[in-house]
Chain A
Amino acid sequence: MARITLSRLAHSYLPNPADEAQFALKEMTHVWRDGGAYALLGASGCGKTTLLNIISGLLRPSQGRVLFGETDVTDLPTEARDIAQVFQFPVVYDTMTVRENLAFPLRNRGKAPGYIAARVAEIAAMIGMEAVLDRKARGLTADAKQKISLGRGMVREDVNAILFDEPLTVIDPHMKWELRTQLKALHRQFGHTMIYVTHDQTEALTFADQVVVMHDGRVVQTGTPEELFEAPAHTFVGYFIGSPGMNLLDARVEGRRAHLRGGTVELGAAYPALEGRVRIGIRPEYVALTEGPGLPVSIRRVEDVGRHRIVRAELSGAPIDIVAEEGERLPAEPRVVFAPEKINVYADDWRVEGEAA
């Protein structure tokens, strides 16, 4: 196991990129802590798969170095990097039994049969497949096959990192819970460095200690799920994390107040004079509907998602989403109030830190 360092890394699929726009992955420096559980989150085409392929050794970066621990592995091929990878679609050896599948990476490395047997038994118990160990992999369901892929990824103890490339895509929602819980348990038990690539915020946030949000070839924020939710560093993070995403409203910020088109709101901190397009961001969860004083809104639609309702409304012509409780009564003349300490301020899409009072 090892710490993974990406140093001034960048990649372009063109041989001689002319400008920054031609880089699929823009220059970045990043350290993945040994034993950490990371998620790489972003929309398709944001560069997350490129980054994963660079770490796994499938792609050689146009510039920069990749270090595992203190060793420079930039020029090492995949098979020399001692990593494990789980792919989007189950990759199993159809003609082998489940047991042979799990033992395969160990056998290839010439481990002792006793050790292999013990290790396979342990992994089979973890992924709950002891009962089918001697069945051929071919006849199993997609869920079961993906579990085998996970198991094969886990079976080696000496890997530098385990990479997951959207591993739950083909899995039913109910089964996703089970597999994700198992992954977490496996991480706790074995302490491997894990990097999990996904476009699904729930998967990323629940899996990882640290989530790396990518947008347009760039890392826009790295943080704990809570940081990403409470203080998105970029409006993209605000939009991408949370369902629905963060509300963004054009504003003029003066000290501790923000003047919106529909009125003025208090902020949780004081802000200096700001340049560029200034907006405030507030999560739908922190917008409350009230009949008392507040900014008047008109409700356009109400979506019942079971455990809560999403109220789609308009505040002086700008769309605003509000999360209302399951049984909550919607006021006849609705107004909204924002929780001041939950308001973030953005200038040209980047978050501005407020000054301590």
Chain B
Amino acid sequence: MALALEGVTRVVRGRTHVHPTDLVLGKGTMNVLLGPTLSGKTSLMRLMAGLDRPTRGRILWDGAEVTGVPVQRRRVAMVYQQFINYPTLSVYENIASPLRLLGRSKAEIDRATRETAEMLRLTPMLDRKPLELSGGQQQRCALARALVKGAGLVLLDEPLANLDYKLREELRVEIPRIFEASGAIFVYATTEPEEALLLGGNTATLWEGRVTQFGPTAHVYRRPCDATTARVFSDPPMNFVACRKERGRVSFGAGAATATAAAGPFAAIPDGRYLAGFRPNHLDLVRRSGDALGFDCALTASEITGSETFLHARHDGEAWVGLLKGVHELGAGAAVTLWLDPAHVYLFDAGGRLAAPAAYAMAA
């Protein structure tokens, strides 16, 4: 089974919620939709589910067109950010409810319900009511209800957003396992890059109703096709600085705050102006290699997590974040030199397209 979107567009009262989108979600794949709030994740999911009809374009399911087919007649299941269960039914009845609606036999309902409950580790709670469970267990129950009927397409709309940090961590590890056991196409919307990375599979990054890139998650992370994708797929956000390539050298920043490097990794691209981007964890307080670039920055704040330090700094008017290993006690206002290995720098052209990927990402 595969789901294909062909030029799918959604316009509501003159406003485009989803720009023309082509996507093919392969059989049994995990697909992450990553983007900030209002980037079109939910709109896209509703189109996939058949809750909304695309203004233009077609939706194919295994090659057969399902564009106008309403959600009731598709094999789709959805899990929302809120824990949606029937409060008066036991966990067992909640999980069994989709099967009862389908009119399955009693024995089959019992078998499927218990199997799904086991997979989601709900067996000891089958007789309880959803509201007697913890948030994590309630969401597991909702997940079980989505999975029990063997839907071919399972849509999860920020399912962990309302959970405690540690519970989230636990379920994040479990969802790939559940997904593998189900054999369905999973589509998982999230605002958090780290969640996308942990889930693996494929990722589509979204920005203002457009899919900016779609591919294997690690590939999209390490080789973003444009500056927007790189920004969406970075937390803390990617840092940027203007740069210019001429006469075989690349100079970063403007005026007195310039750092230059031999063209080395950027030899293949023509001379001109570019935007350099790099992730916070690649900045360093010490110079680790001979060709590292040094940037003079003014520190605005530092945050210590116990094992890592976030440095908030300004370089030539740009706000940067550095994520450093270990604890570094630095006061605000301090002048520091932050070092950056050119192998970690992405160059984007004037239109924001990737001109040169970071050398380290090519090696990985």
Complex contact flag A–B (Cβ < 8 Å): yes
Enumerate chain A interface residues (CB-CB to B < 8 A): 43-45, 142, 172-174, 177, 180-181, 184-185, 188, 199-202, 205-207, 224-230, 239-245, 283, 285, 303-307, 326-327
Q: How far is the CB of B142 from chain A (nearest CB, A)?
A: 17
A226 & B164 in contact (Cβ 8 Å cutoff): no
Q: Which of A172, A188, A225 contacts B305 (CB 8 A)?
A: A225
CA distance A285 to B36 in the complex (A): 30
- Chain A residues near B37: list those with CB within 8 A: 142, 172
Stretch in B7-15, B89-97, B192-200 with 4+ CB within 8 Å of A: B192-200
Q: Which of B166, B173, B236 contacts A177 (CB 8 A)?
A: B236
B197 & A188 in contact (Cβ 8 Å cutoff): no
A306 & B327 in contact (Cβ 8 Å cutoff): no
Chain B 293-306 interface 0/1 with A at a Cβ cutoff of 8 Å (1 = within)? 00000001101111
Q: Report if B223 contacts A (CB, 8 A).
A: no
Rank and list the top 6 A-B pairs by shortest CB-CB distance, nearest first. Answer: A229-B306, A206-B303, A225-B306, A307-B281, A205-B305, A199-B164
Q: Which of A43, A228, A230, A242 has the most CB of B within 10 A?
A: A43
- Chain A residues near B306: list those with CB within 8 A: 205, 224-230, 241-242
B166 & A199 in contact (Cβ 8 Å cutoff): yes
A181-B193 contact in complex given A43-B164, A226-B306, A283-B307, C-beta closer than 8 Å: no
- Chain B residues near A239: list those with CB within 8 A: 166
A305-B303 contact in complex given A44-B164, A172-B36, C-beta closer than 8 Å: no
Closest Cβ neighbor of A225 among chain B residues:
B306
- Chain B residues near A200: list those with CB within 8 A: 165
A181-B194 contact in complex given A205-B305, A244-B169, A306-B221, C-beta closer than 8 Å: no
Q: Can you list 27 pairs linking A and B with CB atoms under 8 Å apart?
A: A43-B167, A44-B164, A142-B37, A173-B192, A174-B36, A174-B235, A174-B237, A177-B236, A180-B303, A181-B301, A199-B164, A199-B166, A201-B305, A202-B165, A202-B305, A205-B306, A206-B304, A207-B303, A225-B304, A229-B305, A240-B166, A243-B169, A244-B169, A306-B193, A326-B364, A327-B360, A327-B363
Known: A184-B303, A185-B332, A327-B364. 14 other contacts (CB 8 A): A43-B167, A172-B36, A174-B235, A177-B236, A184-B301, A199-B164, A199-B166, A206-B310, A207-B303, A304-B197, A305-B194, A306-B194, A306-B197, A306-B221
CA distance A283 to B306 in the complex (A): 12
Q: Report if B249 contacts A (CB, 8 A).
A: no
- Chain A residues near B360: list those with CB within 8 A: 326-327
- Chain B residues near A225: list those with CB within 8 A: 304-306, 327
A305-B169 contact in complex given A172-B36, A174-B36, A327-B363, C-beta closer than 8 Å: no
- Chain B residues near A199: list those with CB within 8 A: 164-166
Q: Report if B323 contacts A (CB, 8 A).
A: yes
B164 & A229 in contact (Cβ 8 Å cutoff): no
CA distance A245 to B312 in the complex (A): 26
CA distance A79 to B363 in the complex (A): 62
CA distance A229 to B307 in the complex (A): 7
Q: How far is the CB of B108 from chain A (nearest CB, A)?
A: 33
Q: How far is the CB of B12 from chain A (nearest CB, A)?
A: 18
Q: Report if B150 contacts A (CB, 8 A).
A: no
- Chain B residues near A202: list those with CB within 8 A: 165, 305
Q: How far is the CB of B45 from chain A (nearest CB, A)?
A: 18
Q: How far is the CB of B109 from chain A (nearest CB, A)?
A: 33
CA distance A354 to B290 in the complex (A): 42
A305 & B166 in contact (Cβ 8 Å cutoff): no
Q: How far is the CB of B147 from chain A (nearest CB, A)?
A: 21
Q: Which of B200, B301, B307, B321 has the most CB of A within 10 A?
A: B307
Closest Cβ neighbor of B312 among chain A residues:
A181
Enumerate chain B interface residues (CB-CB to A < 8 A): 36-37, 134-135, 164-167, 169, 173, 191-194, 197-198, 200, 218, 221, 235-237, 279, 281, 300-301, 303-307, 310, 312, 321, 323, 327, 332, 360, 363-364
- Chain B residues near A306: list those with CB within 8 A: 193-194, 197, 221, 279, 281
CA distance A228 to B134 in the complex (A): 26
A201 & B165 in contact (Cβ 8 Å cutoff): yes
- Chain A residues near B310: list those with CB within 8 A: 206
Q: How far is the CB of A325 from chain B (nearest CB, A)?
A: 10
Closest Cβ neighbor of B279 among chain A residues:
A307
Q: Which of A44, A142, A172 contacts B191 (CB 8 A)?
A: A172
- Chain B residues near A244: list those with CB within 8 A: 169
Closest Cβ neighbor of A200 among chain B residues:
B165
- Chain A residues near B221: list those with CB within 8 A: 306
Q: How far is the CB of A213 from chain B (nearest CB, A)?
A: 12
A304-B218 contact in complex given A44-B135, A185-B301, C-beta closer than 8 Å: yes
Q: Which of B165, B192, B323 contacts A307 (CB 8 A)?
A: B323
Closest Cβ neighbor of A207 among chain B residues:
B303
CA distance A228 to B307 in the complex (A): 10
A173-B164 contact in complex given A44-B135, A205-B306, A206-B305, C-beta closer than 8 Å: no
CA distance A327 to B361 in the complex (A): 9
Closest Cβ neighbor of B232 among chain A residues:
A174
Q: How far is the CB of B57 from chain A (nearest CB, A)?
A: 28
Q: How far is the CB of B213 from chain A (nearest CB, A)?
A: 15
A242-B36 contact in complex given A181-B312, A306-B194, A307-B323, C-beta closer than 8 Å: no
B166 & A242 in contact (Cβ 8 Å cutoff): no
A177 & B281 in contact (Cβ 8 Å cutoff): no
CA distance A307 to B221 in the complex (A): 10
- Chain B residues near A185: list those with CB within 8 A: 300-301, 332
Q: How far is the CB of A19 from chain B (nearest CB, A)?
A: 22
Q: How far is the CB of A46 from chain B (nearest CB, A)?
A: 10
Closest Cβ neighbor of A232 among chain B residues:
B306
Q: How far is the CB of A28 from chain B (nearest CB, A)?
A: 22
Q: Which of A184, A206, A283, A305 contacts B197 (CB 8 A)?
A: A305
A188 & B332 in contact (Cβ 8 Å cutoff): yes
CA distance A306 to B282 in the complex (A): 11
Q: Which of B164, B173, B191, B363 has the most CB of A within 10 A?
A: B164
CA distance A283 to B325 in the complex (A): 14
- Chain A residues near B300: list those with CB within 8 A: 181, 185
CA distance A327 to B235 in the complex (A): 19
